[in-house]
Amino acid sequence: MSYFARFLFVALTLFTHSAIADDSPKPEILRGFAAERLTDAVLLYDRAFRVPETGQYLDALRIDRDVQKGLSSTAATGMGLISLAIGDQIGAIADAETKAEITLSHLLGAHRPRFDTDRSASGWYRHWFDPLTGVIPDWNKDKFSTIDTAILGAGAAILGNHLREKAARLGRPIPRAAKLADDLVMSVDWASAVRNPKRGSIHLVFYGVEERPTKSVATIPFDEYALLPCMAARHEEIRGISGPATKAWRNRFAAPEDLPMHSYGEYTLLGKKGGSIPSHFTHQFAFHLCGDYARNPAFMDEMRELREVDRTWFINQRAPAHIWGLGAGSELTLEPDEEKAAQRYGVARLAKNPYGTASPAVMAGFLAVDEVDGQTDILSDLYTLWTRDECRYDYEGIGFLWRCSPYAPKEGVTRVEAIDFSTWMLGLATVHPALGLDFFKRNAF
């Protein structure tokens, strides 16, 4: 698409968007739309990403194929566990407890030798593995991933807490799936990820079962690895101790206003000291998966600023006003005058989004902010995308919004990454009457 064609498309779209703004859909229509899309998101995890034999979840879905192949991702399985909790709460998955048992029992080694995935000395999992056997690909045999294990643990915690609360409410015994979830969470020595409590540095990976660290592979606040000290401090609290993780959390992570900030126009945004502002899914993961952040009004303020900056960035790029979201996943590489775009994996952020890719999943990840502010702007934007058939996808009758180019929003990608797609589900859950942000405030670790 030529630059002139892009300009004309954007101009027409902006005009149309302003014209329909005065005739926005009623709140009950938007709420119904959000509820339908959440059900479909849960079903996509359950019917497409989930491998029924072992309950593990695929790293990515090919929507141009009927039969799925590929590796499972530890983080994807963590999000799969959350989808079971959400699906159970809204009545979309009738056998969520049974499915959770299958997933967790395999990860905890109850089905060896048929399914056996290695863990390190402190309980860390690897990033990828075969979904049927647990076998690790040769190119990943030496690495154990702290952040992927953390997302798995966060998913297990949310599921376990949900099932435990449900059992108490209904006067039933605690289900086995909840106990298995607790077992998984408590089987990891989370504090071992803290490299330097005073500095707040976190190990990204360990090498070998004996957990050889490296001098270079570590991170400091703030990025998605903030989930690790959050979980590690909570783990120490449950065990009745105040150790290095608690120190790192209190000194470097707990207070959003004390985290590294970057100026962006009139806003101050969370980022990494000496670095850049990370892609916004980073903040959304921390917000939904760490209970302390979900319950902290100061972190909500940061999310509010990020929402406005995200929208503004796309408007400044002459994108239509209803298409935005700086996230990650498959994207089209649209170049001037190209007849057909290639695809690649990209991570968009304020400092880098060369193809202007928009992420409705990240738009949805900010829905809790609108909900608290009594607004429906983001829901209206998502509804506009849906009704215009922009950024809209379908896989075997399950509909959802996913990444696209604002300049060619009807041209889609063929791959959906489970972990990057997850903020679509998490955000929609925060506006569902049976869930809301309280679901994460109560159940996140």
pLDDT (tens digit per residue) in 3-51: 334 443 344 444 444 434 446 799 999 999 999 999 999 999 999 999 9
Burial of 3 (0-12, 13-18, 19+ CB in 10 A): exposed
Largest CA distance in the chain: 65
Q: Which residues contact 268 (CB under 8 A, 6 or more apart)?
A: 261, 262, 305
Domain of 231 in residue numbering reads as 3-443
pLDDT at 387: 98
Cα end-to-end distance, the chain, whole Å = 47
Give the pLDDT band (50/70/90) at residue 336.
low
Other Cβ atoms closer than 10 A to 91 = 10
> Is the torsion defined by CA of 354, 358, 359, 363 positive or negative?
positive
Give the pLDDT band (50/70/90) at residue 56.
very high
Average pLDDT taken over every residue of the chain: 92
pLDDT at 346: 96
Residues 204 and 194: their CA atoms lie apart, in Å, by: 10
pLDDT at 383: 98
Q: What is the pLDDT of residues 275-315, one digit of tens each?
A: 789 999 999 999 999 999 999 999 999 999 999 999 999 99
Of 380, 428, 371, 393, which Cα lies nearest the Cα of 90?
428
CATH number at residue 363: 1.50.10.140
pLDDT reading at 194 higher than 50 = yes
State the total domains in the chain. 1
pTM of the entire structure? 0.94
202 neighbors 229 (Cβ within 8 angstroms): yes
pLDDT reading at 319 higher than 90 = yes
Of the two residues 67 and 393, the one the predictor is more confident about is 393
Residues 160 and 174: their CA atoms lie apart, in Å, by: 9
Q: Taking residues 198-225, report their average pLDDT.
A: 91
Question: What's the residue count for the chain?
Answer: 445
